[in-house]
Amino acid sequence: MASEATIPEHGRPADELLALIDDRHAEDIDWRGGRAFSLVYNVGDHEHEELIEQVGVRYLHDNALNPFKYPSVLQMELDVIAMGCQLLGTAPNAGALSSGGTESIFLAVQVARDHARQVRGIAEPQLLTPSTAHPAFAKAAKYLDLEHVKVPVGADGRADVAAMEAAMGERTGLVVGSAPCYPFGVIDPIEELAGLAAERGVLFHTDACLGGWILPWWEELGEAVRPWDFRVPGVTSISADVHKYGYAFKGASLVAYRSRELLQHQFFWYDEWPGGLYASGTSAGTRSAAPIAGAWAAINHLGRDGYLRLTEQVRATTRKAQAGIAGIDGVKVSHEPDVSLFEISGDGADIAAIGDVMDDRGWNLDRQQGGLHLMLSPYHAQVIDQFLDDLADAAAHHGESRGVEATYGGVV
Ligand SMILES: Cc1ncc(COP(=O)(O)O)c(C=O)c1O
């Protein structure tokens, strides 16, 4: 696709533009039909979807750059932070709301970099992650000019504690673990890693962008969940996206710290220009108020019982998917996933060729180097039988792989 669009000489009527947009939008991924995984977390509840849309529209034009001009937005932001911090186990004022997981990770990395410089006197701190950490960490290292030390994970897909320990040195400024990691859905041994970091006075970040809003309920349903949150003594920061399993629309993630003192490394105050004191709590300047209001509405509409109900649904679909895959010759689930996302790899069959058949049948599965990525939302309960039938058929009847590359994201 390319564009040579120019600004139209004369404005076009609203109804004409809406009709054009509707036509084009119909060509986009069909997430409402349960055919998308990971890009959208489909609750499958019309009332919930409509509520957050309405709230988004009400706040579409408001700018949270100066929250004190919008007391209603300020209150909602403080509420979302307090509710999220409570879920993760830290003080209600020890977090901030950012635009997404990547921004939350950038902020936690920046806090750790400045903490290492200011408190520990390390001029050039390093960022230490397992190889399964989200690319946002590599991107943060690039943008914040830090050396990224990456350690291969073990055969179980989890961070290798001994190898991570061996990589910790004088310059380590932040150690990272995921709960869970995106590629395999496994939780790293956070307790061990955070303990090693704490012994050395090094900060530790749990990337719970995916797990932050589902693991607490998963545990409450009686599942054994490997420790990952602030109950683990060495964990000093956590990212947890409300726009993933919090079921808000895009643009809302929580970054939380063990103390408000740590969070303060993130704040920015500047008065060396003629425009007066400029203060901001995250990397954005102008911020849309809509995702703040949407997150507030999503959390309050679902409540603890709503999250438990949806998590139960996701758990049942996950179990059904995993049992179904175990019964299909030629494919298997990679590793032992801890929650509702995992990789499907080939077990004698060519997984890339199976992926081609699934593509042809309209399933949008992300491709990884080792297989296909599956991430389940509540709505997938409606389509999981069809999915498994198609997967079984694809495993039994597929041709040569078309060689589709493993990709995630895109640049225009
Ligand atoms: C484990 C993990 N961390 C971080 C991110 C980045 O989040 P975002 O895409 O909202 O920036 C993702 C996104 O899927 C993720 O899965």
Answer yes or no: is 403 within a domain.
no
In short, whether 178's Cβ falls inside 6 Å of ligand 1 is yes
Cα 287 from Cα 268, distance rounded (Å)? 15
Closest Cα to atom 8 of ligand 1: 101
pLDDT per residue over 347-369, tens digit each? 999 999 999 999 999 999 999 99
Q: What separation in Å is there between the alpha carbon of 328 and the centre of ligand 1?
A: 30
- Give the per-residue pLDDT at 30: 87
Residue 65's CB is within 10 A of a number of other CB atoms, namely: 16
Q: Same structural domain for residues 276 and 323?
A: no
| Predicted local confidence at residue 36, as pLDDT | 93
Strand-by-strand arrangement of the 341-346 sheet: 331-333, 341-346, 372-375, 366-367
Residue 17 forms part of a structural domain = no
Does residue 274 surpass a pLDDT of 90? yes
SS3 assignment for 205-251: EEECCCCCCCHHHHHHCCCCCCCCCCCCCCCCEEEEECCCCCCCCCC
Type of residue found at 297 = A
Structure tokens at 305: 């019982």
| CA separation for the pair 106, 1 (Å, rounded) | 31
pLDDT-derived band of residue 168, with 50, 70 and 90 as boundaries?
Answer: very high
Same domain, 192 and 310: no
Q: What is the structure's pLDDT at 407?
A: 84
Would you give the DSSP letter of residue 35?
-
182 CB within 6 A, ligand 1: yes
- Is residue 16 domain-resident? no
User: Domain check: are 137 and 194 in the same one?
Assistant: yes
- Is 156 a residue whose pLDDT tops 90? yes
| Residue to substitute in 209, 338, 377 for testing ligand 1 pocket (most ligand atoms within 8 angstroms of CB) | 209
Task: Give 231-242 pLDDT, tens digit per residue.
Answer: 999 999 999 999
- Ligand 1 centroid distance, CA of 70 (Å): 29
Q: For residues 310 and 293, state if they share a domain.
A: no
Question: Residue 367: what pLDDT?
Answer: 96
**344 occurs within a structural domain:** yes
Domains held by the chain: number:
2
pLDDT of residue 273: 98
Range of the domain at 360: 304-393
126/239 same-domain check:
yes
Residues 243 and 354 in one domain: no
CATH code: domain of residue 243: 3.40.640.10
208 in the same domain as 104: yes
Task: Tell me whether residue 400 is in a domain.
Answer: no
Q: 124 is written with which tokens?
A: 């050039």
Same domain flag for 316 and 265: no
The CATH number that applies at residue 343 is 3.90.1150.10
Domain membership flag for residue 283: yes
Query: Pick from 208, 234, 6, 213: which is nearest to 112 by CA?
Result: 234
Which of 38, 102, 181 maximizes ligand 1 atoms within 8 Å of its Cβ, making it the mutation to test the pocket? 102
Angle at 126 between CA 125 and CA 127, to 5 degrees: 130
